[in-house]
Amino acid sequence: MKIKNKKFVYLISPSKISNDSFFKELNLVLKSKKVSFFQLRLKREKENRKIYIAKRTSEICKRNKVKFLINDDPHLALKVNADGCHLGQDDMNILMARKLLKNKLIGITCHNSIELSKKAFLNKANYIAIGAFYPTKTKKVIYKATIRTLKKVKKLFNLPIVAIGGINEKNYHNLLFNNADFLAISSYIWKNKKFKPHQAIKKLK
């Protein structure tokens, strides 16, 4: 199957970035020209450490023409001049985030819900994230999505869809074949036991 969108990867950072070797590896991964978005998702770092990592990461993303997003935190996105922000259902309301971020990108996690997808669509989200499609170690899976969910959301709402949850080199084709616009990938790249991150991404053809 030929993939229409060559830059179909929505790459999510590891949950902890402990040393500067990460930036070199990230640059190699983005050079693959398969990544459209990079989301910085750091849950337990202090603010000043987050700002340092975000600024370094932002430079690498710009150099490789990749959109740089901050997870959960519109204020940090504004502070580091990111391209946008990704919000979960328990984060800041999209309407408040829009006032803060103006025309920057805002994506919304909608789990497996048509209702949440509709709400995100009406509130003018730039994309919606649906999942989890497969078991994942990145976070506990509470909501499970199916190809049927993906097709229904795609049919009802004219918005780019990011498929999330346990995506790897064995299962990614099926989601693209069923019209997911982007695939959120994290563990397969950063915690791969067989390949280094820049090698792992090359397996996604």
- For residue 121, is it within any domain? yes
Q: How far apart are the first and last CA of the chain?
A: 10
For residue 62, count other CB atoms closer than 10 A to its CB: 12
| Residue 87: strand, helix, or coil | strand
- For residue 56, is it within any domain? yes
Number of domains in the chain: 1
What global pTM score does this model have? 0.95
Distance between alpha carbon 40 and the CA centroid of its chain, in Å? Answer: 9
Half-sphere exposure of 147 (CA within 13 A, CB side): 9
- For residue 82, is it within any domain? yes
Q: Per-residue pLDDT for the chain (205 aa), expressed as one digit of tens each?
A: 445 678 999 999 999 999 999 999 999 999 999 999 999 999 889 999 999 999 999 999 999 999 999 999 999 999 999 999 999 999 999 999 999 999 999 999 999 999 999 999 999 999 999 999 998 766 666 789 999 999 999 999 989 999 999 999 999 999 999 999 999 999 999 999 999 999 999 999 8
Q: Which DSSP helix (H) or strand (E) runs through 199? A: helix 197-202
- For residue 1, is it within any domain? no
d(CA 22, CA 179): 32
- For residue 5, is it within any domain? no
> Which residue type sits at 70?
I
Q: What is the DSSP string of 131-156?
A: E--S--SSS-------HHHHHHHHHH
Q: CATH number of the domain at 125, please.
A: 3.20.20.70
- For residue 131, is it within any domain? yes
| Residue 72: strand, helix, or coil | coil
Burial class (CB in 10 A: 0-12, 13-18, 19+), 99: exposed
- For residue 22, is it within any domain? yes
- Determine the structural domain holding residue 37 and report its residue range: 12-202
Q: Which residues of 23-60 are buried (b: 16+ CB within 10 A; e: fewer)?
A: eeebbebbebebbbbbbbbbeebeeeebeebbeebbeb
- For residue 141, is it within any domain? yes
